[in-house]
Chain A
Amino acid sequence: MRHIVRALRLVTVVLWFAVLLMPATVALSLWQIFEARNNVALEKPNFSMSNGNFSISVPFFINNTGFYDISELFAKIHMYDKNEKIAEFTTEPLNIPAGRMVESSLNVSGNLADMISKDSELLTNSKNLDIGVALHFQVAYILAFNIARNFTYNWGAPFSNLTVDYKPINTTHISFLISFYNNASFPLSGPLKVELFNLQNVSIGPVAQMAQTLDVAPNECYQCSFTFEAAETGIIRLFFADILIIERRWGLHERS
């Protein structure tokens, strides 16, 4: 019995020592990494958009000069509009072994249609969005750190100031002048489809459909005219990568 008690006491002391030493060595390890300013660097984020899918990439490099591995390094981004969650993105977790230098990037990608389904105004209205960014990582697989910050992001609508001007050419042909300003921080590329419907909401047919591939740089205007063989009244719908952007009625008693 006495030996068991003595062994237990020894194990307890050793474990307490290890447990109390652990946070101190982790702090020292992190200090070694962040002490030298050139051990961690974040580069300018890149935004891109194609066929209704967007991606943000933040290249970075980290030189793990500490004693412990850094694991589960990932970023989480939440987007809110008036306390309503629009989107949530998480980057792939990365591992940075001790003594290694890693050059990589934190990538998030999403589908514009998913975001638009939560807030349909995002395509046409610029607004302030609440963004929550959190960086998470584990040191020595035992201590996890999370650094979070909330800020306001001025979302620029990719189809800002969107106008659809109807102009009858003759009794059988009509023309629409579509214009907008890409107020977003990313280039807009993907198919823009214009489709006409009659007042009974039935597609007028293949002659009433036109598509064009967009490639509009940030802070650039787009303007294009579409001519159709159609009646004097009806409904026009604009789609970008199969996402409905706008629906307007044209002709007599025009109404948005």
Chain B
Amino acid sequence: MSEVEAEAKRNRRKLVNKTVKAAVVTAIYGVIWFIIWLLLPSFLEPIFKQFPALFQRFSTLYWVLAYVSLFFTFATRISEGTIYKYILIIIRSFFIIVYTICSTNFGIFTINFEGFAFTVEFIPLLAIMVAINLLSIAGGLIQAIEFAAQTPED
């Protein structure tokens, strides 16, 4: 067996190991998301009973967040040790910004109940959430720069 073939075999094994580890971590996160999903209705049941449409919307938003979060967990784990990990962190923060803005209807949430329209405006809070994700993006960028500046010896 040539050295090149041995190297390729080692790399394949590394990749398989990484993939298995990423899959296990993602599965654990998946179970956590699922347990939260099972526990949430017991806390929010009175609200959902009153507003069945709200439950539909909440369910969709919850699973979108869960699936995307699981995808990024898997992707960042598998890209460990590469610059793609940081790019994925930045993309994830961008996604959370867009997700929070869209899911909260730009910080204005309205429900109609027995002839009353209840509106909650949390635009300042949404602005803080966006700022937090911008900080995460900044963190990702710094990490990416640091990673790119590293020499093989580091």
A residues contacting B by CB (< 8 A) are: 1-2, 4-5, 8-9, 11-12, 15-16, 19, 22-23, 142-151
B128 neighbours in A (Cβ, 8 Å)? 15, 19
Q: Which residue of B lies closest to A7 (CB)?
A: B139
B110 CB to nearest A CB, Å: 8
Q: Pick the 3 closest A-B CB pairs, nearest first.
A: A144-B121, A146-B119, A8-B139
- 14 A-B pairs with CB atoms under 8 Å apart are A1-B146, A5-B142, A8-B135, A8-B142, A12-B135, A15-B131, A15-B132, A15-B135, A19-B129, A22-B125, A143-B120, A145-B120, A145-B121, A146-B119
B54 CB to nearest A CB, Å: 16
* Cβ–Cβ contact A146 & B139, under 8 A: no
* Cβ–Cβ contact A23 & B125, under 8 A: yes
The CA of A146 and the CA of B121, in the complex, are separated in Å by 8
Given contacts A16-B132, A19-B129, could you give 4 more A-B pairs where the C-beta distance is less than 8 Å?
Answer: A5-B139, A5-B142, A8-B142, A143-B125
B27 CB to nearest A CB, Å: 24
A212 CB to nearest B CB, Å: 44
**Residue B32 at the chain A interface, CB threshold 8 Å:** no
Interface of B is mostly: helix
The CA of A4 and the CA of B141, in the complex, are separated in Å by 12
| Known A5-B143, A15-B128, A23-B125: A145·B135 in contact at CB below 8 Å | no
* Cβ–Cβ contact B125 & A9, under 8 A: no
The CA of A11 and the CA of B136, in the complex, are separated in Å by 10
**Residue B106 at the chain A interface, CB threshold 8 Å:** no
B129 neighbours in A (Cβ, 8 Å)? 19
* Cβ–Cβ contact B122 & A23, under 8 A: yes
The CA of A4 and the CA of B146, in the complex, are separated in Å by 11
**Residue B138 at the chain A interface, CB threshold 8 Å:** yes
A74 CB to nearest B CB, Å: 14
Q: Pick the contact of A11 from B116, B121, B122, B135 — CB < 8 Å?
A: B135
* Cβ–Cβ contact B117 & A142, under 8 A: no
A16 CB to nearest B CB, Å: 6
* Cβ–Cβ contact A19 & B138, under 8 A: no
B122 neighbours in A (Cβ, 8 Å)? 23, 142-144
The CA of A147 and the CA of B117, in the complex, are separated in Å by 6
B119 neighbours in A (Cβ, 8 Å)? 145-148
The CA of A151 and the CA of B138, in the complex, are separated in Å by 51
* Cβ–Cβ contact B139 & A19, under 8 A: no
A150 neighbours in B (Cβ, 8 Å)? 115
Residues 82-124 of B, flagged 1 when their CB comes within 8 A of A and 0 if not, give 0000000000000000000000000000000001111111101
A101 CB to nearest B CB, Å: 25
The CA of A147 and the CA of B110, in the complex, are separated in Å by 10
Q: Pick the contact of B125 from A1, A4, A142 — CB < 8 Å?
A: A142
The CA of A19 and the CA of B107, in the complex, are separated in Å by 13
A22 neighbours in B (Cβ, 8 Å)? 125
The CA of A149 and the CA of B116, in the complex, are separated in Å by 5
The CA of A1 and the CA of B139, in the complex, are separated in Å by 10
The CA of A81 and the CA of B100, in the complex, are separated in Å by 39
A148 neighbours in B (Cβ, 8 Å)? 116-117, 119
Within 14-69 of B, Cβ neighbours of A (below 8 Å) are at none
B120 neighbours in A (Cβ, 8 Å)? 143-146
| Known A1-B142, A5-B139: A19·B118 in contact at CB below 8 Å | no
A16 neighbours in B (Cβ, 8 Å)? 132
Q: Which residue of A lies closest to B112 (CB)?
A: A148
B117 neighbours in A (Cβ, 8 Å)? 146-149
The CA of A237 and the CA of B64, in the complex, are separated in Å by 70
B139 CB to nearest A CB, Å: 4
B116 neighbours in A (Cβ, 8 Å)? 147-149
| Known A19-B125, A143-B125, A147-B116: A5·B146 in contact at CB below 8 Å | yes
B33 CB to nearest A CB, Å: 17
